[in-house]
Chains A and B, each alone.
Chain A
Amino acid sequence: MKRLLVLIAMVGLALPGVRAGQVATELHFCLHSEPKTFDPLLVDDVNSETIRYLTGGVLIRIDRKTQQLTPELAASWEVDRAGRRIAFHLRPNLKFSDGTPFSAEDVAYTMKRLMDPETHSPTADPFRSSDAPAQITVSGTLTVSILFGAPVSGLERLFDQVAITSARSPLKTAAVLGPYSVAEYKPGAEVLLSRNPNYWKVDVQGVRLPYIDRIRLEIQRNRDIELVRFRRGELDLISSLDADTFDDLAKVAPRSVFDAGASLESEMMWFNQAPSAPLPAYKLAWFQSTAFRRAVSEAINRADICRIVYRGRARPAEGPISPANRFWFNAALKPHAYDVASSRRRLESDGFRIRNGRLYDREGHPVEFSVVTNAGNHNRERIASMLQQDLEAIGIRLNVVTLDFPSLIERITKTFDYESCLLGLTNFDLDPSAQMNVWLSSAANHQWNPSQKQPATAWEAEIDKLVRAQAGETRAEVRKRYFDRVQQIVWEQAPFLYLVTKDSLTGISPEVQNSSPVAMTPQAFWNIEFLRKQVPPAGSR
Chain B
Amino acid sequence: MKRSQLVAISILAVLLVAALVSGAARADSHARQFRDLPEARPSSAFPLGTDDLGRDRLSRLLFATGISLVLAPAAAVLATVLAALVGGMAGYFGRWWDKCTVRVIDLMLSLPWLFLLLAARALLPLNAPPVASLAMTYGLLAVLGWAGPARVVRAGTLRLRQSAFVLQATAEGCGALRILWRHVIPNLKPLLLAQFWTTIPVFILAEANLGLLGLSASEPFPTWGNLLRELQNPFSVRLESFAPLAVVMLSVACFKLATPSQERYT
Chain A interfacial positions (CB closer than 8 Å to B) = 224, 227, 231, 244-245, 247-248, 252, 304, 307-309, 368-370, 372, 375-378, 381-382, 384-386, 388-389, 399-404, 407, 417-419
- Contact between chains at B122 and A308 (CB < 8 Å): no
Interface flag for B235 (CB, 8 Å)? yes
B215 at interface by CB-CB < 8 Å = yes
A385 B54 Cβ-Cβ under 8 A: no
- Given A308-B53, A378-B229, decide whether A388 and B35 contact each other with a Cβ distance below 8 A: no
Identity of the chain A residue whose Cβ is nearest the Cβ of B32 in the assembled complex = A389
Contact of A369 among B35, B118, B127, B129 (CB under 8 A): B127
Say whether A382 contacts B53, CB under 8 Å.
yes
Does B128 touch A at the CB level, under 8 Å?
A: yes
Q: Are A404 and B122 in contact, with the CB atoms below 8 A?
A: yes
CB contacts (< 8 Å) of B219 on chain A: these are 381, 384-385, 388, 400
Assess the A419–B220 pair: CB atoms within 8 A: no
Known: A375-B213, A375-B215, A376-B213. A419 touches B126 (CB 8 A): yes
CB distance from A248 to the nearest CB of B (A): 4
A386 touches B235 (CB 8 A): no
Q: Known interface pairs A245-B233, A308-B38. Does A370 touch B127 (Cβ–Cβ under 8 Å)?
A: yes
- Within the complex, the shortest CB–CB distance from A270 to chain B, in Å, comes to 15
Does B52 sit at the interface, judged by CB under 8 A? yes
Contact between chains at B214 and A402 (CB < 8 Å) = yes
Please give, as numbers and ranges, the residues of chain B lying within 8 Å of A304 by CB-CB distance.
35
In terms of DSSP, what is the predominant structure of the interface of chain A? helix
Further pairs besides A399-B129, A402-B214: 11, Cβ < 8 Å: A244-B236, A308-B38, A309-B52, A381-B219, A385-B220, A386-B33, A389-B220, A399-B126, A400-B218, A400-B220, A401-B133
How far is A416 from B220 in the complex, measured between Cα atoms in Å? Answer: 25
Residues of A within 8 A of B119 (CB): 407
Across-interface contacts of A231 in B (CB, < 8 A): 235
CB distance from B167 to the nearest CB of A (A): 53
Residues from chain A with a CB closer than 8 A to the CB of B38 are 308
Complex A-B, nearest 10 residue pairs according to Cβ-Cβ distance, in ascending order: A407-B122, A375-B214, A370-B126, A400-B219, A385-B219, A248-B235, A400-B218, A376-B214, A402-B214, A375-B215
The answer to whether B130 has its CB under 8 Å from any CB of chain A is yes
- In B213-250, the 8 Å CB interface with A consists of 213-215, 218-220, 229, 232-233, 235-236
**CB nearest to A379 among chain B residues:** B52
B residues within 8 A CB of A386?
Answer: 33, 53
Give the CA-CA distance A370 to B233 in the complex, in Å: 29
Q: Report the bound CA distance from A154 to B127 in whole Å.
A: 44
- A-contact bits for B187-217, CB 8 A (1 contact / 0 none): 0000000000000000000000000011100
B contacts with A: majority SS = loop
Q: Which residues of the other chain, A, contact B52 by a CB distance below 8 angstroms? A: 308-309, 382
* Residues A401 and B218 in contact, CB atoms below 8 Å apart: yes
The CA-CA distance from A417 to B127 in the complex, in Å, is: 11
Q: How many residues of B contact A (CB 8 A)?
A: 29
Which of B118, B122, B229 has the most chain A CB within a 10 Å cutoff? B122
Interface centre among A368, A372, A375 (most CB of B within 10 A): A375
- Contact B233–A248 (Cβ < 8 Å): yes
Complex Cα distance, B219 from A457, in Å, reads: 34
Q: What distance in Å separates the Cβ of A477 from its nearest Cβ neighbour in chain B?
A: 43
How far does the alpha carbon of A245 sit from the alpha carbon of B236 in the complex, in Å? Answer: 8
Of the residues A227, A245, A308, A388, contact of B54 by C-beta under 8 Å: A308
**A247 vs B236: C-alpha distance in the bound complex, in angstroms?**
9
Q: Shortest CB–CB separation between residue B185 and chain A, in angstroms?
A: 40
18 pairs of residues in contact across A and B, judged by CB atoms under 8 Å: A244-B236, A247-B236, A248-B233, A248-B236, A304-B35, A307-B35, A308-B35, A308-B54, A372-B126, A375-B213, A376-B214, A378-B214, A382-B52, A385-B33, A385-B219, A399-B130, A400-B219, A418-B126
Q: Are B213 and A419 in contact (CB under 8 A)?
A: no
Docked CA distance A325–B218 (Å): 36
Residue-by-residue, is B22-43 near A (CB-CB < 8 Å gives 1, otherwise 0)? Answer: 0000000001110100100000
List B contacts of A368 (CB < 8 A): 127
Nearest CB of chain B from residue A60's CB, rounded to whole Å: 42
Note all chain B residues with C-beta closer than 8 A to A245: 233, 235
**Which residues of A sit under 8 angstroms from B31, Cβ to Cβ?**
388-389
Contact among A227, A370, A404, A418 for B215, CB-based, below 8 A: A404
- Establish whether residues A403 and B122, one from each chain, have CB atoms under 8 Å apart when the complex forms: yes
Please indicate the chain B residues that have their CB under 8 angstroms from the CB of A419 in the complex: 126-127
Given the complex of chains A and B, what is the CA–CA distance between A280 and B127 in angstroms?
12
B218 & A399 in contact (Cβ 8 Å cutoff): yes
Taking CB atoms, residues of chain B closer than 8 Å to A418 are 126
Nearest residue, chain B, Cβ from A420: B126
A369 to B125, CA, bound (A): 12
Q: B33 contacts which chain A residues (CB < 8 A)?
A: 385-386, 389
Contacts of A372 in B (CB 8 A): 126
Q: How far is the CA of A247 from the CA of B31 in the complex (A)?
A: 26
CB neighbours (8 Å) of B213 from chain A are 375-376
Distance, CA A369 to CA B128, complexed state (A): 10
Which of these, A370, A378, A400, A404, contacts B118 with CB under 8 Å?
A: A404
Compute how far the CA of A240 lies from the CA of B214 in the bound complex, rounded to whole angstroms. 22
CB of B233 within 8 A of CB of A244, answer yes
Known contacts A244-B233, A245-B233, A376-B213, A402 near B54 by CB under 8 Å: no
How far does the alpha carbon of A379 sit from the alpha carbon of B144 in the complex, in Å? 31
Q: When each residue 108-121 of chain B gets 1 if its CB lies under 8 Å from chain A and 0 otherwise, what string results? A: 00000000001101
* A-side contacts of B232, CB under 8 Å: 224
Structural contact, B128 and A385, CB atoms closer than 8 A: no
For B32, what are the chain A residues with a Cβ–Cβ distance below 8 Å? 389
B108 CB, min distance to chain A CBs, angstroms: 22
Q: Which of B31, B53, B128 has the most CB of A within 10 A?
A: B53
A113-B14 Cα distance, complex, nearest whole Å: 73
